[in-house]
């Protein structure tokens, strides 16, 4: 009795639903017509709370989309490739005019991009901020964002220069990486090492230890504290993959009662605190990678694509180095982007 009743209720509901669905589909035609008036683009973010970078970046995307009064649908994959694959498919299904993707996993994202491209042949797809692996895909219209591999090289070069200036013949350093397994971390590691190789300076750089810092200040600080007890005065430099960890490193150095520059470190992003540390001499340099500029870049490129202009596959974000020489120019802008203590 009980059961039958409930199933009657449910089947009635679902029947009405089915009819409803069909009726909706009939209406589809004209709706489609007036919807095409405005432009809608989809953006698939990897992991919003994983890095402080993503947030202002997302804001910038929204802002510059709003300027062009585009509607932008954003999803957050929470660092899970499977979720991102699903979300990319869902976004594509929302009859959008353009799709932007920041991959969680450089290689893992490829197949879904190919699938979407084959299903929606005239949907332009842009990779944003983080490159795919392989970096160039037929399925994809192009890439817009920083080249984290180049940044790695850039940072490597900076250190080589520093060592040469100081006239050291060998420098003992530790290497703190981003979250193990994430694209940017791998690029910045390879880039750095290749830079040393190209400068023929491998043997000048003596790696004491490598630990992941998960992009995090606290990890950066903890790891550094351990290194200080472990290597003591042997330690001369710490290569960090981003500002967050770099700031942690600097903080540990301060607490250990060292003087600025006694052990050199670096950042990458150009967060206010980092730029300040460069100013105060705790950091040798940081790489200026403005999330705002980065976000805008993606939209600009997408706009070009939508207007049918032909763009070359890679559009890189310029990422100048911030060091003692030019730090004052960048400080105000940094505050503007990241806020006072940001």
Partner 1 sequence: MNETKVADKSNIKKGFARFFFSQAMLLVLIILFVAMSLSSDLFLTTNNIYNLFRQVAILGVMACGMTVVIIGKGIDLSAAAIVGLAAVANVMLQPYGGYFLGVFVAILVGTVCGFINGYFIGKVRANFIIVTLATQILFTATALIISEGRNLTSKPDRIYSFIGNESVFGFPVIIIFLIVTMIITGILLQRTIAGRRLYAVGLNDNAALVSGINTSNVIMGSYVINGFLCGVASIVMTSRIPRIRVGQTAPYLFDVITIVVLGGTALTGGIGGIYKTAIGLCIFGIINNSMAILAIPYEYQQLIKGIILILAVLYDEFNRRKRLLYQ
Partner 2 sequence: MKKTLNTLLDQKLVIIILILIITLTVQDRNFFSLRSLASILDHATINGVMAAGMTILLISGSFDLSVGSAMAFTGIITIMLQPYGLFISILGGIIAGTMVGVINGLLVVKGRINAFIATLGTMVIFKGLGLALTGSSPIKGTIEAYKVIGQGEFLGIHYSVIYLIVVYIAVWYILRYTKFGRNDYAIGGNALSAKLAGINVNLYTFTYFVFCSFTAAISGIILSSRVNTANAIFGDTTNLTVIAAAVLGGTSLFGGKGSVIGTIQGVLILGLIERAMVVFNVDTNYQLLVRGFIILAVVVTDAVTQRRRQLNLERGVV
Contact criterion met (CB below 8 Å) for 201 and 163: yes
Nearest approach in angstroms of CB 71 to partner 1 is 21
What is the number of residues in the chain? 342
Q: Based on the shown chain and the rule CB under 8 A, indicate whether residue 66 belongs to the binding site for partner 1.
A: no
Residue 39 or 74: the one with the smaller Cβ distance to partner 2 is 74
Contact criterion met (CB below 8 Å) for 225 and 200: no
Nearest approach in angstroms of CB 6 to partner 2 is 5
Return the one option of partner 2, partner 1, none that residue 206 interacts with (CB less than 5 to 8 A, by type). Answer: none
Pick the stretch among 2-10, 83-91, 242-250, 301-309 that binds partner 1 (CB under 8 A): 242-250
Contact criterion met (CB below 8 Å) for 311 and 142: yes
Contact criterion met (CB below 8 Å) for 172 and 264: no
- With CB under 8 A as the contact rule, the residue among 103, 152, 212, 267 that binds partner 1 is 212
C-alpha to C-alpha distance for 303 and 296, rounded to whole angstroms: 10
Nearest approach in angstroms of CB 226 to partner 1 is 4
Residue 132 or 240: the one with the smaller Cβ distance to partner 1 is 240
Residue 91 or 176: the one with the smaller Cβ distance to partner 1 is 176
Nearest approach in angstroms of CB 229 to partner 1 is 5
Q: State the residues that interact with partner 2 by CB under 8 A.
A: 2-3, 5-6, 9-10, 13-14, 17, 20-22, 24-25, 27-28, 31, 45, 48-49, 58, 71, 73-76, 78-83, 85-87, 89-91, 93-95, 105-112, 115, 133, 179-182, 186, 212
Contact criterion met (CB below 8 Å) for 217 and 274: no
- With CB under 8 A as the contact rule, the residue among 221, 240, 265, 286 that binds partner 1 is 221
The SS3 of residue 255 is helix
Structure-block tokens of residue 120 = 């929606």
Tally of helices (H runs) and strands (E runs) in the chain: 11, 12
Nearest approach in angstroms of CB 337 to partner 1 is 10
Q: Based on the shown chain and the rule CB under 8 A, indicate whether residue 38 belongs to the binding site for partner 1.
A: no
Structure-block tokens of residue 202 = 């491998």
Residue 85 or 268: the one with the smaller Cβ distance to partner 2 is 85
Nearest approach in angstroms of CB 255 to partner 1 is 5
C-alpha to C-alpha distance for 203 and 197, rounded to whole angstroms: 9
C-alpha to C-alpha distance for 89 and 120, rounded to whole angstroms: 10
C-alpha to C-alpha distance for 47 and 50, rounded to whole angstroms: 5
Give one word for 229, left, alpha or beta, with left for phi > 0 and alpha for psi -120 to 50: alpha
- Chain centre to alpha carbon of residue 228: 30
Nearest approach in angstroms of CB 51 to partner 2 is 14
Structure-block tokens of residue 244 = 């967050």
Pick the stretch among 92-100, 104-112, 122-130, 203-211 that binds partner 1 (CB under 8 A): 203-211
H helices of the chain, in order, are: 2-35, 54-67, 81-93, 110-119, 148-166, 183-198, 217-231, 243-255, 272-280, 291-306, 327-338
Return the one option of partner 2, partner 1, none that residue 87 interacts with (CB less than 5 to 8 A, by type). Answer: partner 2
Nearest approach in angstroms of CB 59 to partner 2 is 9
Return the one option of partner 1, partner 2, none that residue 67 interacts with (CB less than 5 to 8 A, by type). Answer: none
Residue 132 or 276: the one with the smaller Cβ distance to partner 2 is 132
Structure-block tokens of residue 229 = 């007890």
- Chain centre to alpha carbon of residue 91: 20
Q: Based on the shown chain and the rule CB under 8 A, indicate whether residue 175 belongs to the binding site for partner 1.
A: no
C-alpha to C-alpha distance for 63 and 46, rounded to whole angstroms: 19
**Which stretches of the chain bind partner 1, using CB under 8 A?**
48-50, 52, 54-56, 59, 180, 208-212, 214-219, 221-223, 225-227, 229-230, 243-244, 247-248, 251, 254-255, 271, 273, 338-342
């Amino acid at each position: 009795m009980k059961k039958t009743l409930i199933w009657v209720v449910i089947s009635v509901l679902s029947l009405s639903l089915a009819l409803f669905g069909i009726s909706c589909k009939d209406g589809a035609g004209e709706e489609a017509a007036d919807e095409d008036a405005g432009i809608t683009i989809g953006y698939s973010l990897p992991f919003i709370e994983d890095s402080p970078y993503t947030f202002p970046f997302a804001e910038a995307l929204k802002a510059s989309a709003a300027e062009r009064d585009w509607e932008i649908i954003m999803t957050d994959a929470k660092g899970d490739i499977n979720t991102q694959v699903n979300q990319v498919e869902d976004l594509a299904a929302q009859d959008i005019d353009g799709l932007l993707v920041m991959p969680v996993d450089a290689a893992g994202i490829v197949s879904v991009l190919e699938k979407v491209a084959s299903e929606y042949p005239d949907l332009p797809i842009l990779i944003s901020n983080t490159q795919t692996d392989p970096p160039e895909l037929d399925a994809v219209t192009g890439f817009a964002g920083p080249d984290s591999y180049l940044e790695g090289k850039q940072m490597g070069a900076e250190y080589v220069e520093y060592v040469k200036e100081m006239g050291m013949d060998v420098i003992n350093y530790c290497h703190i990486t981003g979250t193990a397994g994430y694209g940017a971390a791998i690029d910045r590691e390879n880039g750095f090492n290749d830079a040393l190789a190209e400068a023929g300076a491998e043997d000048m750089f003596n790696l004491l230890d490598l630990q992941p810092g998960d992009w995090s200040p606290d990890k950066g600080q903890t790891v550094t504290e351990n290194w200080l007890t472990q290597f003591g005065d042997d330690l001369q430099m710490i290569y960090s993959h981003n500002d967050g960890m770099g700031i942690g490193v600097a903080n540990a150095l301060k607490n250990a009662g060292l003087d600025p520059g006694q052990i050199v470190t670096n950042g990458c992003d150009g967060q206010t605190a980092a730029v300040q540390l460069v100013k105060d001499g705790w950091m040798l340099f940081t790489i200026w990678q403005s999330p705002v500029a980065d976000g805008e870049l993606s939209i600009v490129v997408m706009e070009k694509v939508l207007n049918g202009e032909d763009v070359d596959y890679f559009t890189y974000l310029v990422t100048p180095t911030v060091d003692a020489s030019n730090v004052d120019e960048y400080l105000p802008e940094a505050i503007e982007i990241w806020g006072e203590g940001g």
